[in-house]
Structure 1
């Protein structure tokens, strides 16, 4: 089979890519890698799960980066004589680096493949952790954080896309949510290990996910949809056969992917005028909207300053409590992984955002009442416990849907011919919103804790409306079916 046979205008779709360098001349090398992988992976579902577990090391690195600053604040400030503002700068630089990585992620994943972009993302992460571990002043500390952020920005786009492109449609939701589960595991590991080791050792431990990821990438196949788009027909079919199992008939899926790629290749240039068409603007609006709302609900700001709420509830060991909260997030996200392909994306998003709205409102009311109740009264301590319960329910609700599903849906609904650009824009918007929330949360909490949670309540209520009106159900449909439905 070849693309020349199926393409209506008779063009060889591989020609535009033959001059782009040795990276694409990897037919024999890719085949040998896949044949060695094939000896390990005989069953299709085992193959896909193995691939997902390898690339999930990237999101673990992502979560470890996010969680690192919480248990290390006092140690870094004391050892390097930093001010609070300098440490805040250190924390926020990960978001800045991630925004740069997000801008580049789509094009990197497009031109050198999903595996290649993960390889590129792993290298600055390793260098960044080493720079932090051996830093003697703030300059190396800041440089390391920027490098980490860049790698995380690339990972945050590439991993969901790779998982979506290799997964069978009946497993895509559950496997896609492994991305967010891995992020929460990374955050929890940073919290937990931070209880026992100093910040330099913790930075060295941060290298481990990427040092395992790099060799692991040589034992998994490239995304078959990317290979098809690049015109590498034999590698595309070999990759898909490895992923689906050697006894599986893949002819129907092969033809679907080929038709989709041939259709998208007829128009190689997308102009802004074309974005007026519903097949482009609608999935772009849904993808960006979900990823921005995920952050504007204030979840990162709330988690970052959760120690304030723990102290108000009378809990003395805020680090241990934060670690417990991280464990709750891991368990809740694990439940989401199990439910994703059973309940569906849309229903879980509605339940999750509704639960967040109620939880935020509960915390807001508790803080408003604390302001008018005497600190010596029993009611004051009850309100502190109430705010703690609201925070736990908030994390559970977030983990059941809003945490994982926006990334899954973004990787499913964006059309093939705008995925690299649109995915980069959506990922950039997510990191920009995260930076805004992280930078403003402390100021808002200082202004008014009740007022802060009221603002977040309004945003989560809007998220419920957004999901109800515009988010489609993608459960049980192939990527080609989902994307063609927007036409």
Structure 2
């Protein structure tokens, strides 16, 4: 036992050693090297986040919400058949989450994005040509798989290619593009037929598949699988042809070599002491993001406004207009103010956004200031959505893409992503039951969960701003 602990401590010291050797001057030089020539980083990020846009177009709010009545009427579906069509997406996403990590580890991050795009393309074509419930459900299941896989591989790829001074903002673009995909699909869904809307889902996938021919693979993945020459070529492309990549390349290579001395992690080994803190942080953030009620509130926002006595159409328009710009603002702030302050402010806003509707529904139920309660409810929902969009929506994905060592990133990332989708399903499934139990009590419960999330973030989650992936992982797993 004592020898095992000494070996583990030795491994940790080896893991930290290459990181300590770098001087602040060299770190600053590497950080700024080739900043003016990083067009390939921006192009690679744009190509990758087309997958995030495709993700947004697939979601319930993006596709099924504006097409529900048309699909039901054209294919003569019962309510139960349409409900299966809507909900089967989540199960496809869970399977995508489980398998995306191992796939991206085996065939690369670009390969993982190709697989995800292939499932989305096949799914959209199945939906377009569907003449009955079975083909429609198969298409929905396939697009769900692609969505679940994209939710893991896109932020991981972007985090692995970005320089540390841009990593937070570029990774947060994942959430910006998801929201953009939802908003655009919702808007154009009001003027296009459901079949034509399905064809628009092919566009971001086509751009991604075409763009992958022109961008490099993740240098960290190439180093991990032993493609040394390709690793150096990819890193040079990303940092600019005149950039000195020797320091960054040496740090990545040293860290990879240290990790490769450790046994390849299997699922149960994630709960060993050396990986446990990363797993707690990654999975915990996904639970915090979803268990606070976001999926229930987003999926049923129109009915919430109606229950509160406010115009559902006006409320939905305000909601849609708010979400995208606030998400974009959060992306610009994540590398300036840091991950932790942004998510703590976001969590505080979520608590306030739960308190106001709780008060509103309590007032309505007890006939207190009845005219004021609808305004209080819509204000609370908008505060909630704005707060989620500025931090809690994007930052957990940013941190998840940063904290796992590359030798366990596939299996650990899949676990975190699976947990995200499972909690998302749980919240959306139970929301109506909670509302029928007590409308104000529902928001009190979500508010209490968000308070617990703030405590978890304050005491457990580290700040990762301005640090290389290797420094973050060595510090967390020390």
- TM-score exceeds 0.5: yes
Instruction: Kindly indicate whether residue 464 of structure 2 is the aligned counterpart of residue 474 of structure 1.
Output: yes
- Matched residue, 1:184: 179
What SS does the corresponding residue of 1:373 show, helix, strand or coil? coil
Displacement of 1:118 = 0.4
Partner of 2:362: 368
Superimposed CA distance per residue, residues 188-215 of structure 1 (whole angstroms, 9 cap, x where no aligned partner): 0111111211212111111111011111
RMSD between aligned residues: 1.7
Alignment of 1:105-124 (within 5 A): 105-124=100-119
Find out whether 1:309 has 2:299 as its counterpart: no
Aligned to 1:454: 444
Give the corresponding residue for 2:39: 46
Check 1:351–1:441 CA distance in 2 against 1; reply closer, same or farther (3 A cut): same
Alignment of 1:234-249 (within 5 A): 234-249=229-244
Paired residues of 2:267 and 2:411 also in contact (CA < 8 A): no
**Pair 1:436-2:426 in alignment:** yes
Q: 1:297-330 deviations in whole A, cap 9, x for unaligned?
A: 1101101101012324555462x64244123111
Q: Following the alignment from structure 2 to structure 1, what is the Cα–Cα distance between the partners of residues 439 and 401?
A: 35
- SS of residue in 2 equivalent to 1:56: helix
User: Is 1:165 paired with 2:160?
Assistant: yes
Shift of 1:147: 0.2
Map 1:27-426; keep pairs closer than 5 Å: 43-66=36-59, 67-270=62-265, 275=270, 277-312=272-307, 314-316=309-311, 318=313, 321-373=315-367, 379-426=369-416
- Does the CA contact (< 8 Å) of 1:121 and 1:150 recur in 2? yes
User: Which string of whole-angstrom CA distances, capped at 9 and with x for unpartnered residues, describes residues 76-124 of structure 1?
Assistant: 2222222333222211111100100111101100010000110111011
Structure 1: which 5+ residue stretches go unaligned? 1-40
**1:10 aligns to what?**
none
Tell me: CA distance 1:298–1:209, structure 2 relative to 1, closer, same or farther (3 Å).
Answer: same
The whole-number CA distance in structure 2 between the counterparts of 1:127 and 1:276 is 37
SS at structure 2 position matched to 1:222? coil
C-alpha distance in 2 between matches for 1:452 and 1:359:
12
Q: State the shift of 1:229 in Å.
A: 0.6
Normalised by the length of structure 2, the TM-score is 0.89
CA shift for structure 1 position 446 = 2.6
Distance 1:79 1:312 in 2: 30
**Aligned-partner SS, 1:473:** coil
Deviation at 1:128, TM superposition (A): 0.8
Compared CA separation, residues 323 and 140, structure 1 to 2 (3 A): farther
Task: Please tell me whether the aligned partners of residues 43 and 244 of structure 1 are also in contact (alpha carbons under 8 angstroms).
Answer: no
Q: Does the 8 A contact of 2:100 with 2:152 survive in 1?
A: yes
How far, CA to CA, are the matches of 1:273 and 1:99 in structure 2?
19
Q: How far apart, in 2, do the equivalents of 1:218 and 1:268 lie?
A: 33
Structure 1 residues 101 and 450 mapped into 2: Cα distance closer, same or farther (>3 Å)?
Answer: same
Residue 279 of structure 1 and its aligned partner are, at CA, apart by 3.2
Query: Could you list the runs of 5+ residues in structure 2 that have no partner in the other structure?
Result: 1-33
